[in-house]
Amino acid sequence: MSSYPQISLSNKVALVTGGSSGIGRAIALKLSQAGAKVAILDIKECEDLLDEIGRDKARFYRCDVTSAEEVKETVNRVYGDFGRIDIVVNAAGIIIRKDAVETSEEEWDRVLNVNLKGPFLVSKYSIPYMIRGGGGSIVNIASGWGLKGGPKAVAYCASKGGLVNMTRAMAIDHGKNGIRVNCVAPGDVDTPMLRSEAKQLGISWEDFLKDASNRPLARIGRPEDIANAVLFLASGMASWITGATLVVDGGGIA
**pLDDT tens readout for residues 26-38:** 999 999 999 999 9
The answer on pLDDT for 72 being more than 70 is yes
Q: Give me the mean pLDDT over the 16-27 stretch.
A: 98
Give the C-alpha distances (Å, rounded to integers) separating 218 from 132, 142, 149, 159.
Answer: 45, 22, 21, 27
Q: Give me the mean pLDDT over the 26-51 stretch.
A: 97
Secondary structure element (H or E) that encloses residue 58, with its range = strand 58-62
Give helix then strand counts, H and E, for the chain: 9, 7
- Residues with catalytic roles: 156
Cα distance between residue 124 and residue 150, in whole Å: 29
User: Residue type at 248?
Assistant: V
pLDDT value, residue 3: 64
Q: Alpha-carbon dihedral of residues 101, 105, 106, 109, nearest 10 degrees?
A: 110
- Domain membership of residue 254 (yes or no) is no
- pLDDT tens for each residue of 135-163: 999 999 999 999 999 999 999 999 999 99
Cα distance between residue 73 and residue 88, in whole Å: 16
State what percent of residues in the chain have pLDDT above 70: 99
The answer on pLDDT for 240 being more than 70 is yes
- Domain membership of residue 250 (yes or no) is no
Number of domains in the chain: 1
Pairing mode, strands 13-17 and 37-42:
parallel
pLDDT value, residue 211: 79
- Domain membership of residue 150 (yes or no) is yes
Helix axes 192-201, 205-212, angle to 10 degrees: 110
Give the C-alpha distances (Å, rounded to integers) separating 244 from 85, 114, 116, 122, 141.
Answer: 21, 22, 17, 19, 12
Helix residue ranges, H only, the chain = 22-33, 47-53, 68-82, 105-112, 118-132, 154-174, 192-201, 205-212, 223-234
Which residue range(s) make up the domain with 76? 5-245
pLDDT value, residue 19: 97
Alpha carbon 41 to chain centroid, angstroms? 11
The answer on pLDDT for 84 being more than 50 is yes
- Domain membership of residue 238 (yes or no) is yes
Burial class (CB in 10 A: 0-12, 13-18, 19+), 133: middle
Cα distance between residue 179 and residue 66, in whole Å: 23
Confidence of residue 223 (pLDDT cuts 50, 70, 90): very high
Report the CATH number that the domain containing residue 87 is assigned in CATH.
3.40.50.720
The answer on pLDDT for 1 being more than 70 is no
- Domain membership of residue 252 (yes or no) is no
- Domain membership of residue 173 (yes or no) is yes
- Domain membership of residue 126 (yes or no) is yes
Cα distance between residue 35 and residue 179, in whole Å: 20
Average pLDDT of every residue of the chain: 96
pLDDT value, residue 150: 95
- Domain membership of residue 232 (yes or no) is yes
Confidence of residue 207 (pLDDT cuts 50, 70, 90): confident
pLDDT value, residue 210: 82
Q: Around Cβ 118, how many Cβ atoms within 10 Å?
A: 27
The answer on pLDDT for 2 being more than 60 is no
User: Residue type at 178?
Assistant: G
The answer on pLDDT for 4 being more than 80 is no
Cα distance between residue 91 and residue 184, in whole Å: 10
Q: Give me the mean pLDDT over the 203-232 stretch.
A: 91
